Amino acid sequence: MMIESLNYMPHPKQANAQLASHFTDLAPALNARQAAIESARCLYCYDAPCTRICPTGIDVASFIRNIHDENINGAATGILKQNIFGGSCARVCPTEILCEDACVRNHDAEGQPVKIGLLQRYAIDNMALSNHPFARAASTGKTVAVVGAGPAGLSCAHRLAMLGNDVVVFEAQEKSGGLNEYGIAKYKLTDNFAQKEVNFLLEIGGIEIRHGQKLGANLQLKDLHAQYDAVFLGLGLGASKQLGLTGEDAPGLLAAVDYIAELRQASDLAALPLPSRAIVIGAGNTAIDMAVQIQRLGAEEVTLVYRRGFEAMSATEHEQHIAKDNQVRMRTWAQPQQVLLDDAGRVRGMRFERTTDVGGRLTGTGETFEIAADAIFKAIGQGMDVASISDPLASTLKRDGDKIYVDDQFRTVLPKIYAGGDCVAPGQDLTVQAVQHGKLAAHAIHSDINPEMEAAHG
């Protein structure tokens, strides 16, 4: 996660403390009075549409009623039973296109949904439990390997541990948390929350995490397959997609996720390299996160460029407004054509070709324009890190496009090997979806490796 290609650039003009003030909570937490008022707005619908649309199936009406009744521990436990990452999901989940979009209060005289995300955060942040809310079942004597300590892997590990299995998690990075630790905008997950959540999750017991273990490097799938009762792959998407242009490896051009990771881990924001003019290429939340953060660090001009129109962006309208509110220039209907370099071979800008939609097909118009920039950040998507599935056994995994194929129980085509999260095809690339994959996969794994227990319960 290094950004050496920018090391020749100046640093932010402000001191660390002043810069840190730009990365406080994007949406301030509710206080007790605000939570009481907001929870009273809920109609506590039967068969609530907000619950039906939640990827993890949180009973939204129930936890909000608990908040209204001042049963904060009950509210938090209800959330965590379905989503052990309920705290981070309350902060990063796009509630505006999920539960809050489905809220029936959008259609009454007020025309405003209940603030479900903020209420969920209130419950998790204010719970006062004497012990971990979930106890482990009797030991099964089985041990499962989980590759990847991100939301999918840790959700799987936690549920497996709850069911009585032991779990060993193998993680390539120095810290656990995956995208929550390394890939989410600093102003969305503040105060080291990602690590606090990991520590809370591990209180269940029965989970060991080994860091610095990278599949395809110092860790082989064939060894895990031989040594453990089952293996779950929560690999995420570790490789940034390429633009396919000459000069892509020039100093000043890099993946947005690499800069975001460095920013999130920085103890001194004032020591980060900062381009005065930056281009961000992409249309998703990572592109928005990158553009907003570089602007908040003090860049003078930040331009986000996307090849289609605003309505086609995968970033929600809410995210787009965040960018605009932070003075990010947004240019649509333009695709990268050429990286422009100075005499030293460093980035000095990019030439774009204007695009148009012809019968549903994106087409270049032949008209070009240039944007001057000291750095270009790619945020055009992530793909599988091919090296991680290159050993003889891993290479026999069936693929679905550039992801791993799984059935509806998250089984791969290889016996005892399962996968979930961003590295598999089903679902959306959302933290909450990855959490659900891990949870469901854990139940499938538990059932498959403990058939005698399933038979007894049957």
- Contact by Cβ (8 Å): 319, 272: no
- In order along its 458 residues, the chain shows pLDDT tens digits of 458 889 999 999 999 999 999 999 988 999 999 999 999 999 999 999 999 999 999 999 999 999 999 999 999 999 999 999 999 999 999 999 999 999 999 999 989 999 999 999 999 999 999 999 999 999 999 999 999 999 999 999 999 999 999 999 999 999 999 999 999 999 999 999 999 999 999 999 999 999 999 998 999 999 999 999 999 999 998 888 999 999 999 999 999 999 999 999 999 999 999 999 999 999 999 999 999 999 999 999 999 999 999 999 999 999 999 999 999 999 999 999 999 999 999 999 999 999 999 999 999 999 999 999 999 999 999 888 888 888 888 888 999 888 999 999 999 999 999 999 999 987 677 999 999 999 999 999 999 999 887 555 55
Sign of CA dihedral 447, 448, 450, 451: positive
d(CA 311, CA 453): 50
pLDDT tens readout for residues 291-319: 999 999 999 999 999 999 999 999 999 99
pTM for the model stands at 0.95
Least Cα distance to 435 among 88, 16, 19 occurs for 88
What would you measure as the largest C-alpha separation in the chain, in angstroms? 74
Distances (CA, A) of 214 to 75, 149, 277, 305: 38, 11, 35, 34
- Structure tokens that stand for 445 in this block: 């794994």
d(CA 272, CA 296): 12
Other beta carbons within 10 angstroms of residue 316's beta carbon come to 18
Please spell the DSSP secondary structure of 28-79, one letter per residue. Answer: PPP-HHHHHHHHHT----TT-HHHHH-TT---HHHHHHHHHTT-HHHHHHHH
